Structure 1
Amino acid sequence: MNTTERLYLPVDGIFEMFNPAAGHHRSRVTHPVPHSAVFTPALQHPSVSNIPKTGFGIIKTVKGRWRQQDKRVVLRRSSSSGNRHVSNDPLPKRSVDLLEMGLTKPGNCHRIVVLGAPRAGKTNILRRFLGRDFEERYEPTSEDFHRKLFHIGGESYQVDLLDAASERDFPAKRRLSILTGDVFLLVFALDDRESFNEVSGLLGEIRAARAKLVKAKSPARSVPVVVCGNKVDLDSRRAVRLAEVTEVLGEDAPYFETSAKAGTGLDEAFRAVASLGGLPDETGPSRHQLVPILAYQSLCRGARGRRGSRTRAAPCAAVDPSARRPSFTSDLRLVLGSSTKHNKPEKCQIQ
């Protein structure tokens, strides 16, 4: 994981929805990506001086819009009763970032981006991954961000989950999520052919984004995507057959028929996501115990103080109740990260 390559990420088209005049500019930026098959978030952000004044104007505008959206998400979550563990202890006032706190390694932080058509069951699949119960009532998801923290085999892991439902109508914003994601979970409903067609298009978009990467030495690798055909419990209303799915997906994307309601196929799908992301199998919901966030933090700090000890706690995890999607500025800097290859950074001019 320490060996890195320089991959050139064309980001033309990301900013058209923010600045119509920017559409005719085609920019190329460089961005360090690990030797694995996934997009791993950059460890260090480029200098602020590398981003032009116009870029800061875009950041300020979009940051304000996302802040309003984040407030709505926090209010919606505060009224939810989906958590299994209820504690009277004071909760962290901000997101728990294990990397910033020095409680994990950079290679143990991953972002999973979930995409698909409405009503396909994306939110309930994520609820299962978070250790929560199936929610029968449907509420359209604008955008949701979750963070689950694991302690497995003496190591700490941070998994960010982005349910990017609202981005289906905003290609530029969706492209930003694709460029900053490590693993992708695409979900369609087996009783809805249109949802399958949408996932087929998303898969093609992700493949196209990877095809534009100019790799220095690494051979071609498969796309880090897992596809779920959800609602297999409604088999009598099936509109998409297995042979059709296999023909479209090919061999690059592992495919699982799942039921978020009954739990069918989810363990296998989560295991495939873990394999693509370099995560332990114990990240599957059935393989670990869910604990309160404060208990998790105490465990991590205690483990750090007992380095060298052979005693290891059983696999456990905690859901961060204060988790919020990293700012637009952070994601933009990640994509616009200047390359140090040949000691001649390339700047992406946004005008």
Structure 2
Amino acid sequence: MNTTEKFYLPVDGIFEMFSSLTGHHHQSSVTHAALTSEHQHPKVKGMGLIKTVKKCWRQQDKKIGESRSSSSGNRQVSTDRLSKRSVDHLELGLTKPQNCHRIVVLGAPKVGKTKILHRFLGKEFEESYEPTTEDFHRKLFHIGGETYQIDLLDASSERDFPAKRRLTVLTGDIFLLVFSLDDKESLNEVHELLNEIKAAKAKLQKIKPPARVPVVICGNKADLDSRRALRRSDVGEILGEGATFFETSAKTGAGLEAMFRAVATLGGLPDETSPSQHQIVPILTYQSLCGQQQQRGRRSGRAPCAAVDPLARRPSFTSDLRLVLGSSTKKPKPEKCQIQ
């Protein structure tokens, strides 16, 4: 097709396609009436049709939300609208700043970082391997009447970009360093990362290195005992006896619960953030729960629960840079950032 030609879509039959893809069966008649009243011609420009459909859907969502609110006698927001954007409770004022944490996961490729993160998120282990460029997750907790927001960043793509990785280190609150028990070189890389983290944090805080940083070290693939190249004594010799170290298996789940509890303890998080200590609920259920808490006050008797935000995206590097600049109160000139 020539690029200068206009693209047209027939009105009849397009509504069934939208309904099958989006599930908006209850809005098809309204949308069809709106379009046919405005466009009597049997053909409508493709982009104009899409914009009109979206406009009608937004209007219908608004009417449905108002109807639900008036019938229930409260000011709850429509769940259809709540599901369309990421949940940042810090920005919404629903979570205290001290209850928001970022866990940064670092390590060599193919050591099981993503599999361990999936376990924390409540997902099952999968044998398939796909190289991770950068993976960002957000898990939201409701524990004892308090809300917590934990961002998890698998910064695998930053391995060959020291300046970018340095910024990630400076914005991290808790660190999980992962190596494989069948690969000694991956342990050496973790040792270098540990020293880099301590030096970067010490420089930011204007103290003499090494800085005290919440770091948990994970020796993964403990299930591959026949291929093991490292023993606990080897790990202690390279990392030092004071390192918080766990042998784990993302495949069988061995050692993960103790490791997650150590992450919570060192990071100042409740024990209920460990995967076995809370129930996973859908994101809409969690949002509804937080709305009830805001209206009726805290309810400490509710069992701990958590939800994974499916729309979470990593904050921009500009936001991370501002966070770093604002966290160092001792600097006379805030424009002099320590990531260079």
Instruction: Provide TM-score, normalisation by structure 2.
Output: 0.71
How far off its partner does 1:313 sit? 1.1
Matched, 1:137 2:124: no
Contact 1:152/1:314 (<8 A) preserved? yes
2:153 to 131, 152, 162: 162
3-state DSSP of counterpart to 1:132: coil
3-state DSSP of counterpart to 2:168: helix
Q: Deviations over 1:24-44 (max 9, x none)?
A: xxxxxxxxxxxxxxxxxxxxx
| Higher mean C-alpha displacement, 284-293 vs 195-204 | 195-204
Matched, 1:328 2:317: yes
Alpha-carbon distance between aligned partners in 1 of 2:158 and 2:112, rounded to the nearest angstrom: 16
Matched, 1:348 2:336: yes
Q: Deviations over 1:4-29 (max 9, x none)?
A: xxxxxxxxxxxxxxxxxxxxxxxxxx
3-state DSSP of counterpart to 1:337: helix
| Counterpart in the other structure of 1:192 | 183
Alpha-carbon distance between aligned partners in 1 of 2:109 and 2:211, rounded to the nearest angstrom: 30
Matched, 1:151 2:142: yes
| Counterpart in the other structure of 2:294 | 304
| Counterpart in the other structure of 1:110 | 101
Alpha-carbon distance between aligned partners in 2 of 1:219 and 1:120, rounded to the nearest angstrom: 28
Contact 1:224/1:253 (<8 A) preserved? no
Once the two structures are aligned, what percentage of the paired residues are identical? 72
- TM alignment of 1:165-244, pairs within 5 A: 165-215=156-206, 222-244=212-234
Q: Deviations over 1:140-167 (max 9, x none)?
A: 0000000000001111000000000111
Matched, 1:279 2:262: no
Alpha-carbon distance between aligned partners in 2 of 1:284 and 1:330, rounded to the nearest angstrom: 28
Alpha-carbon distance between aligned partners in 2 of 1:169 and 1:220, rounded to the nearest angstrom: 24
Alpha-carbon distance between aligned partners in 2 of 1:340 and 1:111, rounded to the nearest angstrom: 20
Alpha-carbon distance between aligned partners in 1 of 2:327 and 2:165, rounded to the nearest angstrom: 21
One-letter amino acid of the counterpart of residue 130, structure 2? E
Contact 1:293/1:320 (<8 A) preserved? yes
Distance 1:95-1:255 versus aligned 2 partners, 3 A rule? same
| Counterpart in the other structure of 1:79 | none
How far off its partner does 1:195 sit? 1.1
One-letter amino acid of the counterpart of residue 95, structure 1? S
- TM alignment of 1:69-108, pairs within 5 A: 92-108=83-99
Distance 1:206-1:219 versus aligned 2 partners, 3 A rule? closer
Q: Deviations over 1:66-95 (max 9, x none)?
A: xxxxxxxxxxxxxxxxxxxxxx96763322
Distance 1:102-1:190 versus aligned 2 partners, 3 A rule? same
Contact 1:338/1:347 (<8 A) preserved? no
Alpha-carbon distance between aligned partners in 2 of 1:221 and 1:205, rounded to the nearest angstrom: 10
1:314 to 282, 286, 303: 303
3-state DSSP of counterpart to 1:299: helix
Contact 2:136/2:154 (<8 A) preserved? yes
CA-atom RMSD, angstroms?
A: 2.5
> Which ranges in structure 2 are unaligned for 5 or more consecutive residues?
1-78
> Which ranges in structure 1 are unaligned for 5 or more consecutive residues?
1-87
Work out which structure has the larger RCO, using CA pairs closer than 8 Å and 6 or more positions apart in sequence: 1
| Counterpart in the other structure of 1:292 | 282
Distance 1:91-1:144 versus aligned 2 partners, 3 A rule? farther
Alpha-carbon distance between aligned partners in 1 of 2:171 and 2:276, rounded to the nearest angstrom: 28
2:257 to 267, 271, 278: 267
Alpha-carbon distance between aligned partners in 1 of 2:213 and 2:261, rounded to the nearest angstrom: 16
Alpha-carbon distance between aligned partners in 1 of 2:273 and 2:328, rounded to the nearest angstrom: 33
Distance 1:286-1:232 versus aligned 2 partners, 3 A rule? same
How far off its partner does 1:307 sit? 1.9
Contact 1:223/1:252 (<8 A) preserved? no
How far off its partner does 1:198 sit? 1.1
How far off its partner does 1:186 sit? 0.4
3-state DSSP of counterpart to 1:260: coil
